[in-house]
Amino acid sequence: MANRKQMLTIGAIPASLLLLGAASWGIGRVLPEPSLPAPQVVHARPETLNYACPAGIVDPFHLDGGVSAASVWDSAGERETSGEWTILRADASAHTLPTTLGVMGQGGGELRGLSMTSCQLPANDQWSVLGSSTSGEDLVVTFANPNSSPSVVTLEGYGANGPIDAKPHQMTIPARSTQSVLAGGLFPEESALAVHIHADGQGVATWVQSSAMQGEVPKGVTSVSGTKPREDQLFLGLSKQGSSSLRLLVPPSDTGDEADTHVALSYTSDAGTFNVPGGELDVSAGTVVDVPLNGITDERYALRVHADRPLVAQVVTNSEQEEYPGGQRWGMRAGMSSAQGLVHAQLPSASTVEALVRSRLSSTILRGTAQESGSGVGEISSHLLLTSVHSQSGIQLQLGNEQVTLEAGKMAVLDVPSQDTSLESPGDVAIAIEVEAKTPSGVLRAVWPLSADDVEQASTSITVH
């Protein structure tokens, strides 16, 4: 590199000065290395933020085109549809970033399920700890690039025994496009799979879809967005119904990092905040750990996760539903990422949420079942879930024209407002909307945790020499 810099420096000097220098210094004398300023990293902040909204439910047997598109709501911004997915453009200088909701679902068939997630700003570093790649399980990772330049994505796998000994897998996501890949083809037969997603350039948005079949019986499908490591995480809207499990991974700081991290679990319900039975554990870096949550008996609760260092966490719930022809039962699967503390949010009305859910659960079935079965949706209900991020402090917030008091250490369950509404709070609150929808095969349940994207996430780093 030093010789290259020297050649560039010589080439920038007029020939007359080079000849003069040769006569004065003598042939063969080396020009001194110029004194260069230390490189500086500056951040180019975009004027427009390009959000990628979820593409929808993906057929794992037909990745190229087998998609049941999502229905999208947003509080602000300009939408642009590109094939099966939506790009939302927002003003980066706006005081408040838009609230967004993407609803994905099928009211029947092999991919029967309901998921709700936000549109995402592209990111360079994301994780997923949802699902597995064992027989009967399909894990689809979908990348969306709403920007004008391609991004190279690198995937690394982690399992119950630590990092998966495989070379990182790379793929290029072209500008303004989506692309899906089966994680089982990259990291096969992993019962507890975590995927690290690194993207260059302006990054990509990521969604991970987990579905299961037991023979010919559908056991549910769910989709969540990529997540980031945090020391404190909060999951709203968990229920004692079904079997719930928390999956954890402490990302290693470097190769060979297996240091233990202490993790403490507690939960908040309408009765207060309590420690989870057996909820103190040490997790080795780079190892995927599943923690059953069956010891919590409250009807509805929020799970709090605290760790000594940042970790990745997601929750999945599996439950049996109506009888499937032949004696077995349909399954429902619901995945969940953590909610972030907010002081401001725009909320869709109950009728808007219902319309989005109904449109998805009434959509054409991607993959029919081997036995004839019903599809569609009947009654839909929704609730607003709120709790203070800091369990020891109560908060009085403004929900539209009403004042709502959140008691310290408790979770509030309210009706979703009848009109689009703003929420203002003097302190951080976690917010989620819970939906239950009745289908011929049982009640589907999904929770949408509201989140706030950091504008700096969309900045581009440029090194200036």
Whole-model pTM over 0.95: no
Angle at 221 between CA 169 and CA 252, to 5 degrees: 40
Across all residues in the chain, what is the average pLDDT?
A: 87
Band of the pLDDT at 66, cuts 50, 70, 90?
confident
- Range 46-58 average pLDDT: 88
**Burial classification of residue 226, based on how many CB atoms lie within 10 Å of its CB (0-12 exposed, 13-18 middle, 19 or more buried):** buried
Residue 106 has pLDDT above 70, yes or no: yes
Q: What is the pLDDT of residues 331-372, one digit of tens each?
A: 999 999 999 899 999 999 999 999 999 999 999 999 999 998
For residue 53, the model assigns a pLDDT of 94
Q: Is 420 exposed, middle or buried (0-12, 13-18, 19+ CB in 10 A)?
A: middle
Any idea which residue has 């057996």 for tokens? 278
Mean pLDDT of 307-333: 95
DSSP states of 65-76? T-EEEPEEEESS
As a whole number, mean pLDDT of residues 401-413 equals 94
pLDDT value for 94: 67
Q: Are 284 and 253 in contact (CB under 8 A)?
A: no
Q: Which residues contact 404 (CB under 8 A, 6 or more apart)?
A: 386, 396, 397, 398, 412, 414
Instruction: Return the percentage of the chain with pLDDT > 90, whole number.
Output: 75
Structure tokens at 437: 């929808």
- Residues of the chain above pLDDT 70, percent: 86
What is the 8-class DSSP label of residue 94?
Answer: S
Written as six digits, the tokens of 436 are: 């239950």
pLDDT at 78: 87
Model pLDDT, residue 46: 56
**For 223-229, what is the mean pLDDT?**
96
- Going by the DSSP 8-state scheme, the letter that residue 112 receives in this structure is -
Site of tokens 């429902």: 332
